[in-house]
Each structure stands twice: as structure tokens, then as C-alpha cells.
Amino acid sequence: MTLDHRGGDGRPFRVLDVPELTVPSGAHIGLRGPSGSGKTSLLHLIAGLIVPSTGRVSWGETEISSLSPGNRDRWRLSTLGSVFQDFHLIPELDILGNITLPTTFSSWRVGPAEREHAKTVAARMGLTDLRRRTGVLSRGEQQRVAIARAVCRQPAMILADEPTASLDAAHADEVGALLVDAAVEAGATLICATHDAALLARMKHRLDIKAASPIAKQAA
């Protein structure tokens, strides 16, 4: 699987080159490597947010990279919980509204059971005043909301891009533990790109993403 882009001069360059990567169901994998090595691009490929230039991305029997954009959206809604560097929170909504937002994409309203579960997840993330708008939260608090939203529906796979980057060491360790625990409880596959050594140590497997050359990068 490869991912190519074109530079400002119109010439193509290789962003990522992964000969083969098989992730067992329920595995916890930490992606490590220098900034710009392709960790985020790999997460975006797995999520179906972008498609590879060559090769394919599959989840079980579903070839995600060949789905239409609409079907990839539906696959993400039913399968994924995502925490990316841009949290994609709705500033005007309160904490609880942001955590339960994915539920509204597939039902008319958020039921009492879903609300109570969301409150429990929020409490575990250290979020207490759920009526606060996310637009007034600190970046660290927003990161907690994003993680709570990602794990709330107990997805089959969780993708996390630097999920502890905005937290101090003590809170990063706490939230990292909660993220891993949530994945274990859900039986979810967890793939996490991070520079956080403590979070990487919680992963059962680690995958190095290395910059092989100015024009080619590969996973090793």
C-alpha cells in the first residue's frame, strides 16, 4: 500500500509505503516515529478518510478503500472511534452533547441509557460539569472530551493520534490508562500514534514508522 502526493512543483512524492500490515482483532498497537514520517497518514488510510494510491485497506471482509465516500462514512460510524489532533468538537454544544453526538447520526434522539453511559464515561475522563460548552474548555479538557466521545459507543476499532499531547505528565498517564482500559472493555482494536513513551509502553505491540529517504517512507 502506498500513498503519493504532488508537491508545489507538480512532481509526485511518496508519503507512505507499507508493503504489508496485518492487525489482529483486539490488538493494541503503538505507532512511533519522527514528526512527518507518516503516522497520521497511516491512521487516515485505515479510517478510510483517504484512499491509497496503490494497494488496499480492508477490515475483515470489507475492502474499505474500494467503498464509495458515503459507504466509508457509514462504515466509520458503525465501526470506529477516532481521536485526531484536530478534535472536531462542536464549540456551541456542551460536553455531554459532544460525547453523544455520534449517536444522533443514527437515531432521532439520545435515549436515557445512552446519556447515562456517556455521563459514566465522562466521569472516568475527569469531566464533571457536562453543561459547559466545549468552546470555553482548555485544550487538555477538549482532548478528554474527544477521547470520551471516541470510546463511548464501544467501537470495534479505536484510532488515536497523539491522544495525550495536550496533557501534563500526570494527566497524560491517567488518560492514557483510561483509553487502553476502554479498548480492553470493548474488546476493541486500538491503534495509537504517539510520542508519549508511557503510552507506548501500555501497547502490546509497537510499529516504527521511519523516513527511509526524502522521497520514500516505509513502516518497519
DSSP output for 177-203:
HHHHHHHHHHT-EEEEE---HHHHHHS
Question: Residue 73 is placed in which grid cell?
Answer: 462514512
Q: What is the pLDDT of residues 145-196, one digit of tens each?
A: 999 999 998 899 999 999 888 788 888 888 889 889 989 988 999 999 999 9
Q: What residue numbers bound the domain in which 120 lies?
A: 26-51+63-207
Q: What is the pLDDT of residues 9-62, one digit of tens each?
A: 666 667 788 888 899 999 999 999 888 888 999 999 999 999 988 899 999 999
In a domain, 127, yes or no: yes
Cα 2 from Cα 218, distance rounded (Å): 9
What's the predicted TM-score (pTM) here? Answer: 0.86
In a domain, 16, yes or no: no
Q: What is the pLDDT of residues 103-114, one digit of tens each?
A: 887 666 788 898
Number of domains in the chain: 1
In a domain, 4, yes or no: no
In a domain, 69, yes or no: yes
Q: The domain spanning residue 42 has which CATH number?
A: 3.40.50.300
In a domain, 180, yes or no: yes
In a domain, 19, yes or no: no
How wide is the angle at C-alpha 220 spanned by C-alphas 87 and 52, nearest 5°? 55
